[in-house]
């Protein structure tokens, strides 16, 4: 491969405080100029080493980044100046004119001035973690911001000139009823976001919530959850959003280009602790430890990455099914055959069609509404059905 067109992800491993449900890698810190400087140095060095690594391993001569996504952690804790510097380095050393540059932001970290400066630095998309428009919900989730902060942040985003922004929600928290959820959705729609994400609250092992609730969301039954999913889908579709991925809704032309790279298994590079990269059939991961990450780069002058997998055709086919089923466009049986040399027997597909969890149109299969609720189970069934 001579030229690589890839998405670029930056993990910002800093938060003001840890939320009790969160299992993303981040550390609670107070941001200082020296911390930003150290991180920036490490990132620049990581990029330089990655360039040589890619050239050696894959014979890549030219790297173009087609999307940029700052996720976390809390990327909006860093100063706009930090990103200006990083973008400057990227433009100098790579082809860097991404169509989409997303910043994940937490409401309490934004001011009008800062939001304007993020825009000026080059970001053209913000994903705002409002999580809930209910004060009760924010309290349960242990968030540091209030509903008022959400509204203020939205005002800044609009005033700063962002035309493309997403609102992130968590639903299924204790005490949330259908009426509350509906109110929250309608409140969000007043701002006409181009994109919305709705994630069901999950209790992840190792989080304080998992311990507190002993791994069980005893306050919500499946029936109620299904109603929530229906309410979200029906309301958003009525307002012109497309459920293009299990948890993501967008106006036409506003699907998240960067996340589509993951779902469509295209090449991406990840920078920073815990970030994952994927080129061809190789996947690697950085350590989930900020100091280890810094020391390996700045003291040992080495890439901190660990190759986690070199995927064979069977693994690639499994990954294609898992990701493809998340998307509205589903899985192409032709691609499965031609690219990975795997089939799914008709009898197996018929079982799922009869159960109304998938539908088949020509050579594509995709999940129905019910199927989306059972994504993992359907995926496992299809994996077990794969044959050459």
Alpha helices in 94-177 (DSSP H): 112-121, 135-140, 147-160
Question: Distances in Å between the alpha carbon of 352 and those of 239, 245, 366?
Answer: 31, 20, 11
**Does residue number 197 form part of the binding site for ligand SF4 (CB under 6 A)?**
no
Q: Provide the minimum distance between the beta carbon of 29 and ligand SF4 in the complex, in angstroms, as a whole number.
A: 11
Helical (H) or strand (E) element with 243: strand 242-245
8 Å CB contact between 281 and 310: yes
Q: Does 351 bind ligand SF4 (CB under 6 A)?
A: no
Q: Using the rule CB under 6 A, is 272 a contact of ligand SF4?
A: no
Candidates 69-77, 84-92, 209-217, 295-303: pick the segment binding ligand SF4 (CB under 6 A): 69-77
Q: Answer yes or no whether residue 348 interacts with ligand SF4 by CB under 6 A.
A: no
CA angle 337, 338, 344 (to 5 degrees): 5
Task: Give the strand pairing for 276-279 and 282-285.
Answer: antiparallel
Peptide bond between residue 79 and the one before it cis (omega within 30 degrees of 0)? no
Residue whose entry in the numeric block shows the structure tokens 């938060």: 15
In the complex with ligand SF4, the residue whose CB is nearer, 24 or 87, is 24
Contact between 381 and ligand SF4 by CB under 6 A: the answer reads: no
Q: Which is nearer to ligand SF4, 18 or 136 (CB)?
A: 18
CA distances from 5 to 60, 193, 267 (A): 10, 28, 7
What is the nearest approach in angstroms of ligand SF4 to the Cβ of residue 24?
Answer: 5
Q: Contact between 371 and ligand SF4 (CB under 6 A)?
A: no
Nearest CB to ligand SF4, comparing residues 26 and 44: 26
Q: Does 203 bind ligand SF4 (CB under 6 A)?
A: no
Q: Of the ranges 68-76, 88-96, 269-277, 302-310, which one interacts with ligand SF4 (CB under 6 A)?
A: 68-76
Supply the minimum distance, in Å, between the C-beta of residue 216 and ligand SF4. 21
CA pair distance 77, 14, nearest whole angstrom: 8
Site residues (CB under 6 A) for ligand SF4, limited to 301-330: none
CA distance 10 to 269: 9
Helix axes 346-354, 375-385, angle to 10 degrees: 160
Q: Minimum CB separation from ligand SF4 for residue 208, in Å?
A: 11
**Is residue 24 a contact point for ligand SF4 (CB under 6 A)?**
yes
Chain centre to alpha carbon of residue 331: 20
Question: Which of 6, 66, 67, 72 is in the footprint of ligand SF4 by CB under 6 A?
Answer: 72
71 lies in the binding site for ligand SF4 (CB under 6 A): no
Q: Which stretch binds ligand SF4 (CB under 6 A): 3-11, 72-80, 88-96, 349-357?
A: 72-80
Asked if 106 is part of the footprint of ligand SF4 (rule: CB under 6 A), the reply reads yes
Q: Which stretch in 14-22, 132-140, 187-195, 281-289 sits in contact with ligand SF4 by CB under 6 A?
A: 14-22
Give me the residues paired with residue 101 across strands: 68
Q: Please classify residue 223 by burial: count the beta carbons closer than 10 Å to its beta carbon, then call 0-12 exposed, 13-18 middle and 19+ buried.
A: exposed
Contact between 151 and 191 under an 8 Å Cβ cutoff? The reply is no
Instruction: Decide: is 18 part of the binding site for ligand SF4 (CB under 6 A).
Output: yes
For 71-104, give the DSSP string. Answer: EES-GGGS-HHHHHHHHHHHHHHSEEEEEEEEEE
Is 22 an interacting residue with respect to ligand SF4 (CB under 6 A)?
Answer: yes
15 binds ligand SF4 (CB under 6 A): yes
Residue 137 touching ligand SF4 (CB under 6 A): no
The answer to whether 107 contacts ligand SF4 (rule: CB under 6 A) is no
- Rule CB under 6 A: say whether 53 interacts with ligand SF4: no
Binding-site ranges for ligand SF4 (CB under 6 A): 15, 18-19, 22, 24, 26, 72-74, 106
């Amino acid at each position: 491969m001579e030229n690589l067109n890839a998405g670029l992800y930056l993990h910002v491993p800093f938060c003001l405080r840890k939320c009790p449900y969160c299992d993303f890698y981040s550390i609670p810190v107070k941001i200082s100029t020296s911390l930003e400087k150290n991180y920036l140095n490490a990132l620049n060095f990581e990029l330089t080493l990655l360039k040589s690594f890619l050239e050696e391993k894959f014979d890549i001569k030219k790297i173009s980044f087609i999307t940029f996504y700052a996720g976390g952690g809390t990327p909006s804790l860093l100063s706009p100046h930090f990103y200006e510097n990083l973008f400057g380095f990227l433009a100098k050393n790579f082809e860097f004119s991404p169509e989409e540059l997303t910043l994940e932001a937490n409401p309490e970290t934004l001011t009008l001035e800062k939001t304007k400066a993020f825009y000026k630095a080059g970001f053209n998309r913000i994903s705002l973690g409002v999580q809930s428009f209910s004060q009760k919900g924010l309290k349960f989730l242990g968030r540091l911001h209030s509903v008022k902060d959400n509204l203020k942040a939205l005002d800044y985003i609009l005033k700063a000139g962002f035309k493309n922004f997403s609102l992130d929600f968590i639903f299924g928290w204790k005490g949330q009823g259908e009426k509350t959820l509906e109110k929250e959705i309608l409140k969000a729609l007043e701002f006409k976001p181009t994109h919305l994400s709705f994630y069901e609250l999950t209790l992840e092992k190792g989080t304080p919530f998992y311990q507190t609730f002993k791994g069980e969301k005893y306050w919500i039954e499946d029936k109620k959850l299904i109603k929530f999913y229906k309410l979200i889908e029906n309301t958003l579709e009525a307002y012109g959003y497309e459920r293009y991925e299990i948890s993501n809704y967008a106006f036409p032309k506003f699907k998240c280009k960067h996340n589509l790279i993951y779902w469509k298994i295209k090449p991406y590079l990840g920078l920073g602790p815990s970030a994952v990269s994927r080129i061809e059939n190789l996947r690697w991961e950085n350590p989930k430890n900020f100091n280890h990450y810094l020391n390996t780069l700045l003291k040992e002058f080495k890439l901190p990455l660990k190759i986690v997998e070199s995927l064979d055709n069977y693994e690639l086919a499994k990954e294609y099914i898992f990701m493809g089923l998340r998307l509205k466009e589903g899985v192409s049986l032709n691609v499965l055959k031609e690219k990975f040399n795997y089939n799914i027997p008709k009898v197996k597909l018929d079982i799922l069609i009869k159960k109304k969890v998938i539908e088949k149109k020509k050579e594509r299969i995709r999940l129905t509404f019910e199927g989306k609720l059972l994504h993992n189970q359907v995926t496992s069934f299809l994996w077990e059905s794969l044959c050459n």
